[in-house]
Structure 1
Amino acid sequence: MNIIILLQWMLGFFLFWRRNEIQESYDFDKDKRISVIIPARNEEKNIGNLLGSLKNQSIQIDEIIVVDDQSSDKTASIAKSFGVSVLQLKDLPDGWIGKSNACWNGYKFSTGDILIFLDADVTLSKNAVKSLLKVHQKYGGLISTQPWHNAVRVHEKLSAMFNIIAVMSMKEFSAIGFELKPIGSFGPCLVCSRKDYETSGGHEKIKNSVVDDVAIAKSFMKSALPVHNFLGGKLITFRMYPESLKSLVEGWTKNFATGASRSNPLFFLMIFLWISGYMNIIIYMNKISLAFYAFLYAVYAFQFYIFSRRVGNFGVISALFFPVHVFFFVFIFVYSLIRTFLFRNVDWKGRKIKTGGIS
């Protein structure tokens, strides 16, 4: 069993070998019109930070569009105070998921040659847009970025394992990721040309998908358009679910079971085996010598620290208490399976979203 636990630990480095961060660019020559589209629902605590960072970019953004998805707070008024375009939606059409509907309406309102879709909880460094455009110029197709998670409050630290697994599941960050097509994309930050967006069918094509980031990447690849995923590093950051533990549970419940059901079976198995290694550290603690147990615990904590610092500021304490993260992840995953496949709905921002179950 000791050898198996070590092999499971090594499997983690295979799954998350490549960092693949967006590199800061200073020399991009803008030659196309840029539209930033921000779907927002009850984001009064976040939208100001994002818009402030967009106004401070080192490159001119031709239009910024906030699509207010029936917010009950001050999202729209705060956005208007920044002098950006605010598109207020009146209803959610049948068969649509809220975010996809907001993105689609933002696209129809926009005029840019390059479209940048940003979640409202994202914050950008001064050269972030320039760096994203440089990467898109090089690769084309769909460029997505997983922002670095600025976890401030204690409950926000519980997102560490989810962020790590979200990156691992993409395949591109594995030791052989440069040879593999990704399973999806990262929803908080997407960049593409208007032409490619229209070719793929855009968000209308995936209007009823709960896990829109997986669906839109597959839509691009089915249209023979490349998809490339990156980590945001210190250029692109976000705070996920800062409001409360409830919002964190709802958010990850919405994403994880459905996303797992659409993941690559081999990578799903490898991630399961890797997580099982962390669980074995606790399960077999009374069946191995104290010295060897201390060694195993230390190397697993070290690995958790290495991986978690790539995706956010989760810190040394989170790494030392990695069993808390593992069991919280397992709880949310099981709960998500129940909501997704048994009850066939999940809660998110005051709406019940139908998941469709297994079908």
Structure 2
Amino acid sequence: VLVVDDQSSDDTARVATAAGARVLDGSPLPAGWAGKAWALQQGIEAASGDWVVTLDADARPDPALATAVVARARADGVDFLTVGGRFECPTPGTRWLHASMLTTLVYRFGPPGAAGRHRAKPDRIMANGQCMTLRRSAFLDAGGMSLVAGEVVEDIALARRLADDGWSVGFLDAADLLTVRMFESLGDTWTGWGRSLALPGVEPLGRQVVDLAVVALAQAMPLPRLAMRRGDVVDVVLLANRLGTLVGTRSAYDRIDAAYWASPLADLASVAAIARGIFRRGPHTWRGRTYD
């Protein structure tokens, strides 16, 4: 296990060393690079072996994860595979909003798809950078993380760039093997994930607006329209679809309670968070760093 210490100010490096990991002291961030992309580049360069599996610091993998994802990538002929895990949301507020925000991805891009050559067009591919599996030498020869050095949403940008270059790209569900704790509070969820879900730098503004309209009209509006007695049969069908999606995403969470089932009530807040991410201008702070 190789851990990249991205010049953190906490005890990550000490804890990782005590647990037996090899800790790589990260170099200062070069101009034009986002922090995560630079940390991944250093780790992939320092790693050994034909395949590399990367994990975010907030990910908790099952011991079998690395072997399983590499085996699946090799069996399906995938050059670049990402997987989604099970979310741990520590408070009712985070479960309520997080489940709604996750559903916006389903409405825009569908659920995680099959491995192998991705069926979606390269510019509509989805990915999850919390766990990436790649062929190390080929990836570095292609340019590595420099392909998306300045991207804040580097995982989706990378998957789309590689797919456009002819790589076989896959995105699968691995909820049984990976748990992720992304945010600690409702406010962090709204601000942090709203920024990412807007896909800044990845989607052109026109497509961002169209996708936002789809989420607003198909996911968020049917319930309030019916509650105000202004709905019609279309709203009934859309609400039924929304509830079906809620049933379908329950396996993505470690705890299912009233807050989760009430998450359709957070759909308007999710739309607002994504809209904020789309139209907000100027520098913003993410993980302790400021980006333009």
Same fold (TM over 0.5): yes
Displacement of 1:115 after TM fit?
0.9
Alpha-carbon distance between aligned partners in 1 of 2:235 and 2:155, rounded to the nearest angstrom:
40
Higher relative contact order (CA 8 A, sep 6+): 2
Going from structure 1 to structure 2, the CA distance change for 1:245 and 1:144 (only over 3 Å counts) comes to same
Distance 1:318 1:260 in 2: 32
Number of the residue aligned with 2:38: 101
**Separation of aligned partners in 2, 1:304 and 1:142:** 27
1:1-359 correspondence runs (5 A): 64-138=1-75, 139-157=77-95, 158-170=97-109, 173=112, 179-181=119-121, 183-242=125-184, 244-259=185-200, 262=203, 269=210, 272-277=213-218, 278-287=220-229, 299=240, 302-313=243-254, 315-318=256-259, 320-339=261-280, 342-343=281-282, 345-354=283-292
Give the Å deviation of 1:301. 6.1
Identity between Structure 1 and Structure 2 (%): 22
Instruction: Quote how far apart the aligned CAs of 1:331 are.
Output: 2.0
CA distance 1:123–1:80, change in 2 (3 Å): same
CA RMSD of aligned residues (A): 3.3
Contact 2:34 2:150 in 1 (8 A): yes
Which structure's CA Rg is the greater one? 1
Give the paired residue count.
285
Say if 1:260 and 1:172 are closer, same or farther in 2 by CA, change over 3 A: farther
How far is the alpha carbon of 1:294 from its aligned partner?
12
3-state secondary structure, aligned to 2:196 = helix
SS of aligned partner of 1:315: coil
Which amino acid in 2 is paired with 1:152? Answer: P
- 3-state secondary structure, aligned to 1:96: coil
TM-score by length of structure 2 reads 0.84
Q: CA deviation at 1:171?
A: 5.0
Change (3 A) 1:283 1:115: same
Q: Cα distance 1:154–1:310, how it changes in 2: closer, same or farther (>3 A)?
A: same
Cα distance change, pair 196–310 in 1 and its aligned pair in 2 (3 A)? farther
**Following the alignment from structure 2 to structure 1, what is the Cα–Cα distance between the partners of residues 194 and 135?**
31
Measured in 1, the distance between the counterparts of 2:100 and 2:51 equals: 33
Give the Cα separation in 1 of the matches to 2:212 and 2:111.
14
Counterpart-to-counterpart distance in 2, 1:222 and 1:319? 37
For residues 302-353 of structure 1, the C-alpha deviation after alignment (integer angstroms, 9 at most, x for no partner) is 32421331422463523542343202202211221232xx22x321122112
How far has the Cα of 1:238 moved from its partner?
0.9
